[in-house]
Amino acid sequence: MIYVLEDLINGILMGSIYGLTALGLTLIFGVLKVINFAHGSMLMVGMYAAYWAVALTGVHPYLALVLVIPVMYLFGHAMQDIIIKPIFKAEKQVREPITVIIVTTGVWYILDNLSLLVFGPQYRTLQDNPLRGKMLEFGDIMISVPKLWGFAAAVATALAVYLFLQKTRMGRAIRATSLDREAASLMGINQYRIYNVAFGIGTATAGIAGVALVPFYNVFPSVGVLFDIKGFIIVVLGGLGSIGGALLGGMIVGVIESVGPQVMTATWTEAIVYALFLLVLFVKPSGLFGVKYDW
C-alpha cells in the first residue's frame, strides 16, 4: 500500500509537469484556434536553453528561468509574426486555417534537425546539479524533490496565466479575440498583435516546462516528440482551451503511468492512456473539463 501511495504522489507531481507542457498548447489553440505541432520542439529548445544556461554559468537550474522565459517568449512572438501571421492574412475567411498545421509541422522538423546538427545526438544531463537524486522522506514514502519543484512551477504558471487572462487589459483582449475575432477587431483590438502575444506566452510556458524537466531528465534533439504526443492527449482529456483541464489531464496521465506498472506491464499502461484518449474523443469530445467558455 505504501508503494502505491508513493507512486500516486510522484505520478501527480510528474503529471503536473505534463500539464505544464500542455498548458501552452491549449492556450495557443484557445486563441488562434490552430494546433501548434511544433510545440514539443519549442519545449526542446527551452530545455537546451536551460541546460546551457546552467552548464555555462553554474547557477541553480531554476534561476535559468530568468533567461529562458524572455528568450522563449520572443521566439514564439517572432515565429507567429513572421511565419504564421501571413497565413492568417491570406486566409482571413477561414476560422481554423489548416495551412498553419502544415507550417508548424515543418517548423517541428526544422528545429529538431537543426538541434541535431548543432548539438549532436548525445543525451545530456546537468553536472553538479544540486537537485539530482534529492528525495524527501515521509516515513517509508520517498518523494522526488525535482518533481516537487516542477509541480510548484506548474501550479504557479497556471495561476499566473489565469490571473493574467482575467485581470489585465491585455488578458481581456486575448479572451475577447478567442471568443470572436471579428467582433474584437471591430472594437479596436488588433487581432494579429493578440496572436503574437498569445503565441509568445504559450511558447514561454513550454520554456518553463523545459526548465522544470532539465534537473532530472535527459536533453536530446528529439525529446520534444515524447512530450508533444502526451501534450495532445492531455489537451483532449482536459478540454481544448481549458487551463485547469490541462493540469488535471496531465495529472491523470501521470498517475496512470506511475501507478499502472504496479499491477501491469508498462506497455499496457500506455495502452490505457491511449484508450482513455479515444474514449473521451468518442464520448465527450469537448474534454473532461471543457466548457463552452473556459476563460
Question: What pLDDT, in 10s, does the model give residues 5-18?
Answer: 888 888 899 999 99
Segment 137-163, tens digit of pLDDT:
777 788 888 899 999 999 999 999 999
Mean pLDDT of 189-198: 90
Q: By percentage, how much of the chain surpasses pLDDT 70?
A: 95
Q: In this predicted structure, what is the pLDDT of residue 89?
A: 81
| Cβ count within 10 A of residue 133 | 9
Q: What value does the mean pLDDT take over residues 111-137?
A: 85
Q: What is the pTM of this model?
A: 0.90
Lowest mean pLDDT among 76-80, 189-193, 236-240: 236-240
Residue 46 binned pLDDT confidence (cut-offs 50, 70, 90): very high
At 290 the pLDDT is 66
Q: What angle do CA 70, 74, 78 make, to 5 degrees?
A: 175
